[in-house]
Structures are given as structure tokens and as C-alpha cells.
Amino acid sequence: MITAVGWTGLLRLALAMEEMKKDHPKERYYYLQFIGVVPENQGKGAGKALMTPILGFVTVKSASIDKILLNSDGSKNML
């Protein structure tokens, strides 16, 4: 990751992540930090294919987890 964004970019990312934590719920949750679909594959079911096994894992392994969080820029991205 450092080679992709450099040390400055890594620091900006860490600071942004700390800022986002302020809005997270108090109960236990999973946070999907980096998941996405490249634009040319959007709208073709790729996102759902990525999320289905994650949702299955959470359902089986984590009866005490109440939420799964994912930052998104639109409601059409929600399952």
C-alpha cells in the first residue's frame, strides 16, 4: 500500500479513518473498509458477488454482531 499512495497518502488515510470512526455505532459491527467494483463492471452483479460470501460469513460466525458498515456514495449500492 505504501508504494501505491506513499507515506503522506498513508497518513492521510489513517487520519480519515479515525475521523470516520466518530460516526460508527457503539455496538459491535464489521466494517468493510476497502471493497468496490471498477466502473466497467458496475451494474453487472460483481458487487453482489463480492458481498454474498461476506454476508454469509457474518451470519454464520457472528451472532453477536449487529451491523455491517460500508461507506458508499449512493443508496443504489446497498443490498
4 in any annotated domain:
no
11 in any annotated domain:
no
- Taking only the tens place, the pLDDT of each residue in 32-61 is 777 788 889 989 999 889 888 888 887 766
Cell numbers linked to 53: 460470501
18 in any annotated domain:
no
Whether 31 and 21 have beta carbons less than 8 Å apart is answered as: no
43 in any annotated domain:
yes
Q: How many domains does the chain have?
A: 1
35 in any annotated domain:
yes
Residue 42, domain extent: 25-79
| Model-wide pTM > 0.75 | no
